Structure 1
Amino acid sequence: MDDHRKHGRELTAQEEFESTRLLAEGYSDTTPVATRYKDIVPAPAQPTVGNAVPFAQHGRPPMSQKTTDHATLVIVYTWGALPVGGAVSLVLWQLSSVSPMQLTFAGLGAAGVVIAIGAAARMIGRAFRDGASALPDHTVNQYTGTVYVQHTELHTNTRGFGRTNNQITDGQQ
């Protein structure tokens, strides 16, 4: 049998004795079977012989903690999407007996509700803006002494859903 101790560092007397004892126990028929052994030799951070880098073992590849967490979340979300996909499949299977005209009306009805809610939100927002602009802009300031007044206005213009344009002026237009 080839002696593999020439690869790596030299063992201390205690480590040599422990390794010999463990090998003798492993090949003995009278020794009870151990469930685990504690390795007393600290594992080196890099290979002790040569300049070869460690290679990936079986299982998940080595990566940062953030990447590992992200991969775990992707796996969890994938498993979480299975019930949703199953429910959608069941609904579509049940809808296979429905006529195409009923499916068309159901789809247009849902789109109509969304369009109606959007239009109502725009009209309510426009009513609030018109009401606020109709209020009188009456400001009375009384000062004694030399006063410098700087007036700044913010004009906001919103079009569609979320397209907002803000313009700051000095009040002189």
Structure 2
Amino acid sequence: MQLPEQPVAGQPDPTDRAEVLKLAHAVETALLKEMATYHRDETPLPVVGSTPPVEQPGRASMSPKAVERNVTILTSSFLTAVAGGAVSLILWTSGHANETVIAWICGGIVAVPVALTLPALALKGLMKSVKDAAEAAPQSITNHYHGAVHQDTRTVTSNTRGIIANNRNH
């Protein structure tokens, strides 16, 4: 950028302008050096011992199974409330609201989802336990040997006692 030689009326002195430009350039370079897009700390966390993790304050952590059941309960209760509200609104607007009829309808609205949900949950739990049992079953191991094989089946038990340790293997 070319700076004018003579000061123009109403404009700053060229030497002041040059100083301002130097300052702006220094500020920009300093900001660019300080701006990091990310920082990843790769140092491993220190091992403090065999102390189990401490439960933090607030809402307690839940197992995946508990979360799944909680979601099922919440969705079932929401659907029950919506259906009960709809039936109550229809009866109230029609003017045929009878306590006995409302009790039977609300009972049916509560009983039908429960009657459908409980067997579904039981079947789901049964299928999951069958799947877990199948995964937990030990794999069958088949070894093929060629030539003479000697299998050592001895068992060594160790018993160490006393102030001065004396090891006796049997």
TM-score (ref. length: structure 2): 0.29
Q: Which has the higher contact order (CA 8 A, sep 6+)?
A: 1
